[in-house]
Amino acid sequence: MTSRSKRISLSEAAEIIKDGSLLTFSGFTIWRRPCALVYELIRQKRRHLHLIEVNSGPHSEFLIGAGCVDVWESCWIGHELYGKYGANLARRVRQKEIIYEDYSHAEMAFRFQAAAAGMPFMATQTSLGTDIHNPDYDMLGRAGLRNGKNPKIPRKKYHIVDDPFFGDGRQVLVPAAKVDVAVLAVQQVGDEGTVRIAGQFFTDPEVARAADITIVIAEEIVPEEYLRHESHLNKIPSFQVDYIVECPWCAHPTGMFRFYDVDGEFLRNFYTQTRSQEGFNEFAKEWIFGLNHDGYLNKLGVPRLARLKANTVLNYSTRVERGRK
Amino acid sequence: MTSRSKRISLSEAAEIIKDGSLLTFSGFTIWRRPCALVYELIRQKRRHLHLIEVNSGPHSEFLIGAGCVDVWESCWIGHELYGKYGANLARRVRQKEIIYEDYSHAEMAFRFQAAAAGMPFMATQTSLGTDIHNPDYDMLGRAGLRNGKNPKIPRKKYHIVDDPFFGDGRQVLVPAAKVDVAVLAVQQVGDEGTVRIAGQFFTDPEVARAADITIVIAEEIVPEEYLRHESHLNKIPSFQVDYIVECPWCAHPTGMFRFYDVDGEFLRNFYTQTRSQEGFNEFAKEWIFGLNHDGYLNKLGVPRLARLKANTVLNYSTRVERGRK
Amino acid sequence: MKDRTQLAQPGEYTLGDLMTVAAAREVRDNEVVFAGTGMPMIAIMLAQRTHAPRLKLIFEAGTLDGRPKELPTSVGDPRCEVGASVASGLYEAFSIAQRGYVDLGFLGGAEVDEYGNVNTTAIGDYLNPLLRLTGSGGNPDINSFAKRTVYIMVHEKRRFPKNVSYITSPGWRVKNWPTGEWVHRRELYGAAFRGGPSAVISTAGVFRFDEETGRMYLDTYHPGMSPEKIREMCEFDLDISRVSGETVPPTYEEIHLIHHVLDPDEIFLAKPRKE
Amino acid sequence: MKDRTQLAQPGEYTLGDLMTVAAAREVRDNEVVFAGTGMPMIAIMLAQRTHAPRLKLIFEAGTLDGRPKELPTSVGDPRCEVGASVASGLYEAFSIAQRGYVDLGFLGGAEVDEYGNVNTTAIGDYLNPLLRLTGSGGNPDINSFAKRTVYIMVHEKRRFPKNVSYITSPGWRVKNWPTGEWVHRRELYGAAFRGGPSAVISTAGVFRFDEETGRMYLDTYHPGMSPEKIREMCEFDLDISRVSGETVPPTYEEIHLIHHVLDPDEIFLAKPRKE
């Protein structure tokens, strides 16, 4: 017997994310980002989002460029080989149009792990002595957002203690990364919500459990029974997933292990074009507004997507051009 | 190209564990316990061991009955359906021949997770208000063992703090469970040390990483290359495993998912027989001393082991008798 | 042929059947249930096959949303893993519980006091015990993290003492360390407060708790028992003012499921003599 | 046919080749190496195919002991996973690093100071930056946890300032917050102290650190450079008293591996004009 159906459409999924939400995503830099949903959020003109991410990438550059984001809290943003840094974040930082909060990558991973385990913090010794811990650079604090009004925003950026057990010295307590909604882009989800992730799973299991609402967008919705025959291959249990969406190529232009590679040309063009707000607006006009996901795929065209398609033995594309030439 | 061979024999593996070591194991209660190695430790008359375990079971009852153990630090000991509690631990507790230290199960899991992540502690809100936190019941403290002399024994049993981030109230910091040697019993290990575990993996990945030395005893040593074709199925990376031993039926009388079931009759007899020290001595004389692992298997005999053998589709035995009759 | 939905008559079911069915009735559909070994497993699997087909079952050893075909003998049993959503480990199971996903825990105990504090660790002075038991296992963890916890216990007067020898698992009034003064559970748990023991199902009756005073009261008494008799079987002064009646016996369908589908080999439950 | 073990002549290799080979030589066999994206990847894969076949490679995104056949374009790339011992996630990778398994980290940076503090976050005042960069990524984590860290950098005078705009990744002398006074890394890290930056390989030369004073010194200068010229290319007073000579150029074998095996498509490294 199955649960009440969790299946919804892409636009219904975007509607679940309210203005002002604390939002996070699956994936890693330019891999397995739920871009199809991000485009839909931009079409729906979502505002005042607080992104809190283990690391960031093109999906957040889209949202930031479109003016959907008030707070960006993470450790990294860029396009890897295809764009040196996040030009839209950089522009809005320079123009003081966004609050940015920097942690280290391990700190962000531990923050999500803490939230996923229902712990208020975890202890780490990374990044001691760096400006990441500079108390003047607590940007949420400077903005007055650590007043306890939003119960998910910690009242301090860090809390330093000494190890009481082994004399191991200074420990940095990093607060749990509590989020309202997590959106994941994965290969397969069962019709009751069980998630199977192929390849590196990044921080997806933690991210799903750190959120109050978890939306999973998958290349395929498959029979739950099939996934349950090999439960050790699954990464997120049914009851942690609230909504599921079937959407092929949901991560484009980022890549999806076993399904398709990163569209480097798309990212390089985006990075180059959107270093100005005018450039971003043109990009959005061309690739986001006035299109739905099917229109977007049609615009990309079959030959381009065929080049990105992963070799099923190697799990990555052997046809995509990756070199500089 | 492969590393210098990690393969050793069962008796060589036992020799690595020195008198006085902090020792832990794979598995869960009566499943996947490295009993073959435990028997060998008893044959080699290892003494003054400090067992620190997420939970305990028959393997520790063997060691405790044989007088190998000075300290037992865990949360549970018994034989599940086949013996109400650990009669050997109970006897030695009553006779003040052993130091016992009680935590809760989640606390032990978090302690190992902390050690595995190189953190000195983790925070939890479990078991607040119970006698587990009664300061009079800090047994290592009462025994004078929290003096910092052994750097792996924490100077406090607990440290209580208030959550500085979310106002979530009282938090119990539990110290990392640092261990000298972890011994794992698993289905498969590659010749370079990669471990694949079938079924529930319990706390094996944490336990392996919490230890300074990790010994893996497997039903089969398989070509590393085979395991590396599906790296998402593997649980412990090559470089965390120091020694490997091939030993079929290494967990008997405990069970091994996909390989064999628990030998309930053996456990019930052990529990009944060893409620007195004389009974334990007779058991040890019959089943441990004067036998090696091959002799032990021969004594069990082919028909008995054939009954325990798991059905390869169901991963458990359909022939073993489990009922009360 | 008997109507399977009808209630069975005394003699047609065992005390174990009665308790199992009473326990199964504590489960609501769609709940996430975290269960220990033994009778709790049968109760949950029974609920799964009757009124709560969509319950999600978590086993401490790492099985998430499992649908066992055969009765597991322990939570580490491969039989737990069958049909599961995810096979993982203890850290995952306890993290999920601490994160607040668990609606209902199902546990056992050796002693219980008036406030629902349970002992599974040692009888007598902890430092010099008459009998050392198994220890806590996940008992305090499941009970600390779940919204409701149901205990299944043997009823003897010494097992319902004024104070348990050792508080393994927290009731409604617990000790505030380091002083050890008694406080309401709510005070100590702060944000982690989600509830507490909601029922004790003993061999004599079904008990519940007043969440404000934290005191246990008798809800139903098993056939053959009376409230007064049960009050005599407690060392503390049991509140019998809120009794709702006799414990409802199992239906023929439930007896059939217990003995022919779930535990045909009598692993945990012996069959009734006349069936 | 050329002897492949012979050193190449100027013009037969690029500056990128020279730096890659210098980086590869920092790896010792059997080490656990944690690598970032780009030139570090080629350097490690080169070492794996020459003098360090048994090195264990960890990628931040979760690949443990991978043996990529094709050059990954980032650490999240499926190409990382090929031949791996375990495919896991970031929490696992960073936990393993924090636990102390990592011998060597390989990283990049935009600015480095005399004590090896590296900036990858922002140029100018952090609160009012001229240029916002990518942010830390795993740079401080890998560098905090590894026994040795090697940086690969473009050499410009402004990139070797007296003080970096923002300390993203800790050098040998770091800031003791909340006061911000400078202290030796060893004092701050306590039990977690395992080492620090061991080399900077820039487009001008190879630099090392005196672990006691924490100061950078020039070890080797690339062909065409001189110690004096390089000192002019730093805003701080570079110690050139310990120079050991010219950076050893690549062998023909190494050039072949870089351009025909590891990066034939010129993903990170352009081919030399005459080859």
Convert the pLDDT of each residue in B34-78 to its tens digit.
999 999 999 999 999 999 999 999 999 999 999 999 999 999 999
Q: Does A243 touch chain D (CB under 8 A)?
A: no
**Closest chain B residue to D63 measured between Cα atoms?**
B231
Lowest mean pLDDT among A309-323, B262-276, D95-109: A309-323
Q: How far is it, in rounded angstroms, from Cα C153 to Cα C110?
A: 7
Q: Is the pLDDT of residue D275 over 70?
A: no
**pLDDT of res. C274:** 62
CATH 3.40.1080.10 fits B3-246, yes or no: yes
φ and ψ of A135, to 5 deg: -65, -20
Of B2, B116, B235, the CB nearest to D99: B116
Each domain of chain C, given as residue ranges in start order, spans 15-262
Q: Does C78 touch chain B (CB under 8 A)?
A: yes
As a whole number of Å, the CA-based R_g of chain D is 18
φ and ψ of A81, to 5 deg: -60, -20
Q: How many Cβ pairs within 8 Å bridge chains A and C?
A: 68
Of B3, B190, B231, the CB nearest to D87: B231
Q: Does C73 touch chain B (CB under 8 A)?
A: yes
Q: Does A139 touch chain B (CB under 8 A)?
A: no
Q: Does A151 touch chain C (CB under 8 A)?
A: no
Q: How far is it, in rounded angstroms, from Cα A148 to Cα A157?
A: 13
Q: Does A86 touch chain D (CB under 8 A)?
A: yes
* C145 chain-A contacts, CB cut-off 8 A: 118
pLDDT tens for A66-88 read: 999 999 999 999 999 999 999 99
D15-262 CATH pick, 3.90.1300.10, 3.40.50.2300, 3.40.50.700, 3.40.1080.10: 3.40.1080.10
**pLDDT of res. A4:** 59
- The DSSP bridge pattern shows strands C86-87 and C63-64 to be antiparallel
Binned at pLDDT 50, 70 and 90, residue B288 comes out as very high
Q: How far is it, in rounded angstroms, from Cα B20 to Cα D9?
A: 60
Tokens of A88: 């839209």
pLDDT, mean of each 10-residue run, chain C (275 residues): 87 96 97 90 94 95 93 92 95 97 96 98 97 97 98 97 98 97 95 95 98 97 98 98 98 97 93 75
This model's pTM is above 0.95: yes
**pLDDT of res. A322:** 82
Q: Kindly list the catalytic residues of C.
A: 60
Distance from CA of C96 to the nearest CA of A (A): 6
Q: Is the pLDDT of residue D108 over 80?
A: yes
Question: D127 vs A137: CB contact, 8 Å cut-off?
Answer: yes
Q: Does A227 touch chain C (CB under 8 A)?
A: yes
Which single residue is written with the structure tokens 């063992």? B145
Which single residue is written with the structure tokens 């020290």? B277
Q: Is the pLDDT of residue A171 over 50?
A: yes
Q: How many CB atoms lie within 10 A of CB B311?
A: 13
Helix (H, G, I), strand (E, B) or coil at C34: strand
Distance from CA of C190 to the nearest CA of B (A): 5
State chain A's mean pLDDT as an integer: 96
Mutation pick from D54, D85, D98 vs chain B, by most beta carbons of B within 10 Å, is D85
Distance from CA of B179 to the nearest CA of A (A): 13
The complex's ipTM works out to 0.97
Residue D215 is classified by DSSP as: -
User: Looking at the DSSP assignment, which residues form a beta bridge with residue C182?
Assistant: C175
Q: How far is it, in rounded angstroms, from Cα D215 to Cα D221?
A: 17
Binned at pLDDT 50, 70 and 90, residue A3 comes out as very low
Is B193 within 8 Å of B234 (Cβ atoms)? no
How much of chain B, in percent, has pLDDT values that exceed 70?
Answer: 98
**Closest chain C residue to A224 measured between Cα atoms?**
C85
Q: Does A131 touch chain D (CB under 8 A)?
A: yes
Candidate list D26, D60, D111, D114, residue with the active-site label: D60
Binned at pLDDT 50, 70 and 90, residue B3 comes out as very low
Question: D174 vs A130: CB contact, 8 Å cut-off?
Answer: yes
**pLDDT of res. A2:** 44
Q: Is the pLDDT of residue B279 over 70?
A: yes
pLDDT tens for D172-204 read: 999 999 999 999 999 999 888 999 999 999 999
Lowest mean pLDDT among C32-46, D101-115, D230-244: C32-46
Chains C and D touch (3+ CB pairs under 8 A): no
* C94 chain-A contacts, CB cut-off 8 A: 117
Q: How far is it, in rounded angstroms, from Cα A137 to Cα D127?
A: 7
Q: How far is it, in rounded angstroms, from Cα B136 to Cα B142?
A: 8
Q: In angstroms, what CA-CA distances link A228 with C65, C67, D31?
A: 10, 9, 39
